[in-house]
Amino acid sequence: MLRSMITAANTMNQLQQQLDVISNNIANSNTTGFKRRETNFGELLVQQFDNLPDDKATRQTPAGVRRGVGAKLAETNLVVKQGPLQQTGRMLDVALTKEGQFFRVLAETADGKTAIRYTRDGSFYLSPSANDPTALMLVTSDGFPVLSSTNEPITIQEGFKDIAITDTGTLRAIAPDGRVMQTADLGITNIVRPQLLQSVGDNLYALPNVNNVPEADVAVNMTGTLRPQINVQQGALEQSNVDLGTEMTDLMLTQRAYQMNAKSISISDQMMGLINGVRS
């Protein structure tokens, strides 16, 4: 009985983590550029009982009995599937229309330093530049500077009439007389191995330090001859790729599995009570 209770308790702990992942997906169903995560389960350690050493029967499975100790949440995978586009008509709204491509921004880390982060949220704004009172800095909705192809914050001199962004991510500030005042290439990175991305909050992702792996096998900055492979759309935003119907179905299945394991603990406890009663 104790083994069944341990097995159920182990599985319930992992199911709770799956519920957390599903809840996070549902909570961000309206977050611009959000990418859902899906869970995969694996088996915990298995104990082998070879109590029939002379068994010569024809079997489809190995001899003996294998007893597990529950299931574990093996991994959570980031689903980079393209989300639906919403037309906004706003000149600073930019949607990436190719999977695996992310904007580069400069964000503050937990230790107070700054580091490059990645996002699919293209709802940008203009904020006064701290270094140049006559310039405006391109920032995200949370105020993080948007980086250029050279990893420098993008600033635009005041006096422009309009901003145009090409399909390949080139920003152009248009003067009132129609001439191009200034150009800048949006910093865009193609994440080759998106499963390495770590969520750091504020709809941002970071790449861990991966030893002995070439940088080109993890992330490639879209510069130079790679710029034509970029595909963005101005005046639109990519919505979350969360399907509420799928998430609610997964949520109910996980809750039922949790309830079943909780019931298993309750029944095991009742059976142990009966055994103790017989002994007394």
pLDDT digits (tens, 9 = 90+) for 59-100: 777 677 777 677 788 888 999 999 999 999 999 999 999 999
pLDDT at 236 over 80: yes
The counts of H helices and E strands in the chain are 2, 20
Q: What is the pTM of this model?
A: 0.83
pLDDT band, residue 52 (cuts 50/70/90)? low
Residue with the bigger pLDDT between 1 and 100: it is 100
Our measurement of the distance from residue 155's CA atom to the centroid of its chain's CA atoms, rounded to an integer in Å, reads 29
Residue with the bigger pLDDT between 68 and 203: it is 203
Give CA–CA dist 241/3, Å, rounded: 41
Write the CA distances from 99 to 4, 44, 80, 120, integer angstroms: 44, 34, 6, 10
Q: Which range has the worst mean pLDDT, 11-20, 46-55, 206-215?
A: 46-55
Q: Give ∠ CA 236-172-83 in degrees, rounded to 5.
A: 20
What is residue 1's predicted lDDT score, i.e. its pLDDT? Answer: 53
Residue with the bigger pLDDT between 184 and 70: it is 184
Residue 100: closest CA among 241, 274, 264: 241
pLDDT at 275 over 60: yes
Mean pLDDT of the chain: 88
SS3 content of the chain, % helix, strand, coil (to 5): 25, 35, 40
Mean pLDDT of 235-249: 95
Residues 247 and 25 sit within 8 Å (Cβ to Cβ): yes
3-state secondary structure of 219: strand
3-state secondary structure of 141: coil
Mean pLDDT of 4-22: 86
Paired strand residues for 199:
205
* For the chain, percent of residues with pLDDT exceeding 90: 59
Give CA–CA dist 173/268, Å, rounded: 71
What is residue 126's predicted lDDT score, i.e. its pLDDT? Answer: 94
Three-state secondary structure readout of 157-191: ECCCCEEEECCCCEEEEECCCCCEEEEEEECEEEE
pLDDT at 55 over 70: no
pLDDT band, residue 6 (cuts 50/70/90)? confident
* For the chain, percent of residues with pLDDT exceeding 70: 92
Mean pLDDT of 245-267: 90
What is residue 169's predicted lDDT score, i.e. its pLDDT? Answer: 94
What is residue 81's predicted lDDT score, i.e. its pLDDT? Answer: 93
Residue with the bigger pLDDT between 120 and 49: it is 120
Residue 77: closest CA among 239, 199, 190: 199
What is residue 246's predicted lDDT score, i.e. its pLDDT? Answer: 93
Contacts 24+ apart (CB under 8 A), 20-27: 21/76, 22/247, 22/250, 22/251, 22/254, 23/251, 25/242, 25/247, 26/242, 26/244, 26/247, 26/248, 26/251
pLDDT digits (tens, 9 = 90+) for 147-157: 999 999 999 99
Q: Which two tokens stand for residue 113?
A: 């330093």
